Chain A
């Protein structure tokens, strides 16, 4: 009996999340982007291009916090199609926000994770879009996703700079 009552209560809390329909928007811009050669685990011993992105983020995601919000998972994702036509989405940065007070973003960041292409080269790849997305993770209930910002114009990949 007690467990039924608890389940109904949890169900009500989970459903209440659908009443909160905040859709905050912010801005994202790429301040500098560079491509350098290097090698790493994947395709070992093969030279490949690494892209380094510096970006600026501003967004107020506090409205996403309600009584059933446990945390936000924020991530910056690069979206582009490479020369071979492969469509790619690569997360280059992420952050977990656990308190409403920390949800005001004003960040000048750079990629946390390596950004490379399947073909090992960004030469002649069409420009990429960068977007800030979020995953709202509840105490109980359904996980939701959204996009808070997107670059207005696609950002081209620069020529590779050779390290001398």
Chain B
């Protein structure tokens, strides 16, 4: 089955194989660069996330793709859909802001350099949940800016389901990676 491919590999020689590996690595590297570049522009550690639970149905279902930004000069408002990560929890949560409280400086002599120099307390809730998220905060009373990964600005349905499928069936992941790798190696041009 692979005899033909092996024959062509032998004919093309080591240089060609190395070149293909280099190509493959450069594709990976540019992917990483695009990801990190997007992260810089949008000011979030993960500009694209996949919805993993049904707590925002019927707006977002499992497998939908969300695009985030986290502008450093904007406060969060009620109605914003935020993605937050509680320290100690490994899965980020996508929920809507229910309450915001912008605190004031106790020290009267200090003037805030920007509206964001002041602390903002947030409470969130999933559209599909009956109660707010205090139980999810693992002992915290409020969310703060430092917990927020970003807010949802764009939406693309279903596409993220590939990653969920790959998590549920790891064989699929290896098959896909192996297939792509083999393809990259034996491609002619």
B163 within 8 A of A: no
Q: Of the listed stretches B7-15, B36-44, B154-162, name the one at the interface; the rest are far from the partner chain.
A: B154-162
> Which residues of B from 127 to 179 have beta carbons under 8 Å from A?
127, 132, 134, 141, 152-157
Which of B98, B103, B125, B127 touches A96 (beta carbons < 8 Å)?
Answer: B127
| Contact of B59 with A42 in the complex, beta carbons under 8 Å | no
Query: How many Å from the CB of B65 to the closest CB on chain A?
Result: 10
| Contact of B79 with A91 in the complex, beta carbons under 8 Å | yes
Which of A10, A118, A135, A141 touches B79 (beta carbons < 8 Å)?
Answer: A135
| Contact of A86 with B103 in the complex, beta carbons under 8 Å | yes
Which A residues have a C-beta under 8 Å from some C-beta of B? 10, 14, 41-42, 70-71, 73, 75, 77, 84-91, 94, 96, 98, 113, 118, 133, 135, 137-143, 145
Contacts of B94 in A (CB 8 A): none
Q: Mark B75-103, 1 if CB is under 8 A from A, else 0.
A: 00111010000000000000010111111
Query: How many Å from the CB of A55 to the closest CB on chain B?
Result: 16
Query: How many Å from the CB of A110 to the closest CB on chain B?
Result: 17
| Contact of A137 with B59 in the complex, beta carbons under 8 Å | yes
| Contact of A141 with B141 in the complex, beta carbons under 8 Å | no
Q: With A96-B127, A140-B155, A143-B154 in contact, is A77–B141 under 8 Å at CB?
A: no
B72 within 8 A of A: no
List 8 additional A-B contacts (Cβ < 8 Å) besides A70-B59, A88-B99, A145-B79. Answer: A71-B58, A73-B127, A75-B78, A87-B102, A89-B100, A113-B98, A142-B153, A143-B81
- What are 20 A-to-B residue pairs whose CB atoms are below 8 Å? A41-B134, A42-B134, A42-B141, A73-B59, A75-B78, A86-B102, A86-B104, A88-B99, A89-B77, A89-B99, A89-B100, A90-B98, A94-B127, A96-B127, A98-B58, A113-B125, A137-B59, A140-B156, A143-B81, A143-B154
Contacts of B103 in A (CB 8 A): 86
CA distance A103 to B101 in the complex (A): 30
B121 within 8 A of A: yes
